[in-house]
Chains A and B, each alone.
Chain A
C-alpha cells in the first residue's frame, strides 16, 4: 500500500525526532510492563498464599463456620464430601480439624489455631510440607505426638526443634484438654501472621483432644491446580451437597479484601497507562503538529492529485502507529529482558519484608506477566496515540488545498 510506504519512509525524514518519540514510547512501555509485572507478581503471591495456606481454592465447612469459626460448627460426615469430590476430575482435597488453643513452652505461652491434618493428604492442598526449614514434616504415625509450627512462633515462645510443648484447647464437652508434643519441624511461609499462629499436628491427636466424632471435620480444603473453573466447581458442589449442612466458599468469598486489592491493582493499570502516556501523547501531538507544518505543501499536492481527506488522516495515523509500534517493540523487548532476569532472581524487598509478609506476599517478589493485561494496556496505549494524533490528522485533512499548495 503506497500510503504505508510514504508513512514508513516519512518517519525517517527526521530520524532524530523519530528516535526521541520512539524512546519516549519505549520508556513508557518499559515502565508500564515492569510495574504491571511487579503488581501482578505481588498480587499472585498474595492470592497464592491465601489459597495455599488458608483452605485451598474452595473450602467446604459447616454452615456458618466462615462467619463464626467455632469447633461445634462442623462438617459432620466428611465422607459425603469426599465421595462427591472423588467423583470430580482434577480436584485434590484434604480434611482438617481446627480449634483455637494455647501453646506453651517452658518459657512462654501464646494463643494459636491448632490444625489437625492427615500428613499424607495435606500436601495435596498445602505447600507446608515443602516449607520446612528445620526438621521434618509430620510422620505418618498418628500417635507420634509431634507438631510442626512456624519458626516465628517457635522463636516467640522460645522453643527449639525437638523440644516439647503443650497444647491446650476446649473439649466439645466444655472441659479443658491438653496434650504434650515434640516439635518435629519448623516452617517459614510467605505469611508472618500464619507462621505465628498455626500449629499443625495429626488429625487423630486433635480429634482426641477436642472430641470430634470419627468422621467429623472442621473444613475440607480443595485445590484445583489453577484458578480457572473455581466458580463452576463451587456451583456443582453446592448443588451436590445441598441439605448436608455445609457451606462451599471460594477463596474470593473468604478473602474479600484480597479481591478488592486485586481489583484496585487492575485499576492501577489504567491509571498507569493514562499517566505515563499522557506525557507521551502530548509529545506526539507536538511532533505531529510540526510534521504537518513542515509538509503542508506536500499534503496539498497529494490532495490535489486525488488523495481523499480520510487517506490524509490514515497516512498520519500510520506514521504515528509505526513510531509507536517500534517504541512498543523496543520497550517490550527491554521489559522482557528485565522480567526474564527478575524472574530468576526475584526482587528482594527484605527491607520491607515485615510489611509484605504480614499481607502474605513474602520478602522476594517474582514478576508475573499476564498477557491479557499487558495486551489490554498496550491496546490502551494505541488508543491514546490515536487520540493524540487525531487533532493534527483532522487538521491536516481539512486544509484548503490551494492554501496548502501556496505554503512555502
Chain B
C-alpha cells in the first residue's frame, strides 16, 4: 500500500510568457504529494496545467517558484547534467506518441537507458525480454524499427523502456491519446497490474476517462490549481 511521499511539491508556480508576452500562470501555487506505490491520475481541461506539473516533477522543466522533491532529491539543486542522471536512475517516461528512437529496433529502444546506465549485456537482455513478455510483445517484433510497428506496439515498447530501468516513478503524459480504446484499455490494465505487482509509482496526466476510471487517486486541476483530490478504494 502507498506509504511515504515519493513526490513532494511545495508552493509550485510556473509562469510562461505567451505569444504576446503576457505572463500566464500555468501552475499557480500547488502543494501536492504522491506516495510511493500510488497509481494516480492528474486530470483537468486543456490548459489546466497537467502536463506542466508532470514536466516539473520529471525535471524536464524548472519552476518559476516553489520546490519539487522527488525520491528525497530537491530537483532545484541539480545541474542540467545531474538532472539527466537523476531522470536516468529514478524516472521513467511514457509520452503520447513518437516516443521511440526511429533508427533503433524495438529491442534496442527498450535497452537504450540500460546501456546508458551501464547494465551488463546479459542482464540487459534478460530484463528487456522479461518486460516484453509481460507486455505481450512478440519475439518477431523485437527486431523491427518503430516505423514497422503499430501505434499500440510502439507504446508497449515505450512502456517496456520506461520499466526496464526499474524506476521509482513513471510519468505518463496522455499515454493513451494516440491509441484506439481497446489497445489503450489493455495497456492501462497492464500498467495497473505492474503497479500492483512491483509497487512502481505511476503518475498520469490525462483527460481520458479510461485512465481516470482506473486511477486509485484522481487529482483535478483547474487554472493551474488543484480543484479536487480524491482517493478511491
> Which positions in A face B, CB cutoff 8 Å?
1-2, 5-6, 9-10, 13, 297-298, 301-311, 400-402, 405
Min CB distance B36 to A, Å, is: 20
Contact, CB under 8 Å: B61 / A306? no
B133 sits at the interface (CB 8 A): no
Q: Give Cα distance in the complex from A301 to B87, angstroms.
A: 12
- Tell which of B93, B98, B104, B116 touches A304, judged by Cβ atoms closer than 8 Å: B93
Which B residues, 63 to 115, have Cβ-Cβ distances below 8 Å to chain A? 80-81, 84-85, 87-89, 91, 93, 95, 98-104, 108, 111-113, 115
For B103-142 the 0/1 string (1 means CB < 8 A from A) is: 1100010011101100000000000000000000000000
Contact, CB under 8 Å: A305 / B95? no
Interface of A is mostly: helix
- Tell which of B55, B98, B161 touches A402, judged by Cβ atoms closer than 8 Å: B55
Question: Count of A-B contacts with CB under 8 A?
Answer: 68
Find chain B residues with CB under 8 A from A301 CB. Answer: 95, 98-101
Q: Give Cα distance in the complex from A364 to B60, angstroms.
A: 66
Contact, CB under 8 Å: A2 / B112? yes
Min CB distance A374 to B, Å, is: 33
Q: Give Cα distance in the complex from A306 to B98, angstroms.
A: 17
Min CB distance B218 to A, Å, is: 24
B58 sits at the interface (CB 8 A): yes
Tell me how many residues of B have a C-beta within 8 Å of chain A: 28
Find chain B residues with CB under 8 A from A307 CB. Answer: 84, 116
Contact, CB under 8 Å: B61 / A400? yes
**In chain A, what residue has the closest Cβ to B104?**
A6
Contact, CB under 8 Å: B104 / A303? no
**In chain A, what residue has the closest Cβ to B98?**
A297
Q: Give Cα distance in the complex from A309 to B80, angstroms.
A: 7
Given A297-B98, A298-B102, are A304 and B60 neighbors across the interface (CB < 8 Å)? yes
Contact, CB under 8 Å: A306 / B116? yes
Find chain B residues with CB under 8 A from A5 CB. Answer: 103-104, 108
- Tell which of B58, B81, B87, B101 touches A309, judged by Cβ atoms closer than 8 Å: B81
Contact, CB under 8 Å: B80 / A305? no
Contact, CB under 8 Å: A302 / B98? no
- Tell which of A9, A302, A308, A405 touches B95, judged by Cβ atoms closer than 8 Å: A405
Find chain B residues with CB under 8 A from A400 CB. Answer: 61
Contact, CB under 8 Å: A10 / B87? no
**In chain B, what residue has the closest Cβ to A408?**
B98
Contact, CB under 8 Å: A306 / B89? yes
Find chain A residues with CB under 8 A from B80 CB. Answer: 308-309
Contact, CB under 8 Å: A305 / B115? no
- Tell which of B60, B88, B91, B108 touches A2, judged by Cβ atoms closer than 8 Å: B108
Find chain A residues with CB under 8 A from B99 CB. Answer: 301
Contact, CB under 8 Å: B116 / A401? no
Q: Give Cα distance in the complex from A65 to B29, angstroms.
A: 94
Min CB distance B101 to A, Å, is: 6
Find chain A residues with CB under 8 A from B58 CB. Answer: 304
Which B residues, 147 to 178, have Cβ-Cβ distances below 8 Å to chain A? 161
Known: A308-B81, A405-B60. 16 other contacts (CB 8 A): A2-B112, A5-B104, A6-B101, A298-B101, A301-B95, A301-B99, A301-B100, A302-B101, A304-B60, A306-B91, A308-B80, A308-B85, A309-B84, A401-B61, A402-B60, A405-B95
11 contacts between A and B (CB under 8 A): A5-B103, A6-B104, A298-B101, A305-B113, A306-B84, A306-B87, A308-B81, A308-B85, A309-B80, A401-B60, A402-B55
Of A1, A305, A308, A401, which is in contact with the most chain B CB atoms at under 10 Å from its CB? A305
Min CB distance B40 to A, Å, is: 20
**In chain B, what residue has the closest Cβ to A308?**
B84
